[in-house]
Amino acid sequence: MDLKDYRNLFAVCSLVLSLFVITPTLNLFVSFNVEESFSELSILGPAHMAKDYPFNVLVNSEESLYVTVSNHMGGSTYYMVYVKFRNQTQPFPNSTMSSSLAPLYEFRVFLLHGEKWEGLVRFKFLEVLSDADTVQVKKMLVNNVVFDMNSTSKWDHEYNGFYFQLFFELWLYDMGTQNFKYHERVVGVWLNITI
């Protein structure tokens, strides 16, 4: 090696050493932390707590829940929450595909990063037909809007009841497609309709 090669090697080593020395100081001025982007969807009972959810529901008795959305996406986000209803045999949405059932009700909310929204969901079963082993929901009220339904549940011998589920899907607005897309978040409560 000649003198020129030693100079180049010395320059490279000095540069690498100086980067190791300056990096802790640079972290004081420049943040390299990358936050994970996510949204939260949850439901609360009538007292705004994660308990006392309605379960044994009487016909013509109003029940209430609160649905909440929190934005941790790193910027402003436009959300839509679908309120849907199913019996125990209809498929539940999964992490990649939303339910094919028609929504009963929807909320639309625009949240800044770090904001949380809470919406009241009041519901009542207005018309229910029953026989020995079947219950059929014909009319349901959600936030003062009446919905004609045709959802049937058979008597569940294992759990002793007629089970339905009120559930909520989270969708967010996609600027690229200029449409809402399923955000892979879903929560729900099981309801046993008693006559």
Instruction: Delimit the domains of the chain by residue range.
Output: 1-33, 38-194
Which residue is associated with the tokens 């180049």? 8
Q: Which residues touch 49 (CB under 8 Å, ≥6 apart)?
A: none
User: pLDDT tens across 128-147, in order?
Assistant: 999 989 999 999 999 999 99
Q: Tell me if the domain spanning 38-194 has CATH number 2.60.40.3880.
A: yes
Rounded CA-CA distance 52/63 in Å is 11
Q: How far is CA 178 from the centre of its chain?
A: 20
pLDDT at 32 over 60: no
| Percent of the chain at pLDDT exceeding 70 | 83
pLDDT in tens, 87-111: 988 988 987 899 999 999 999 999 9
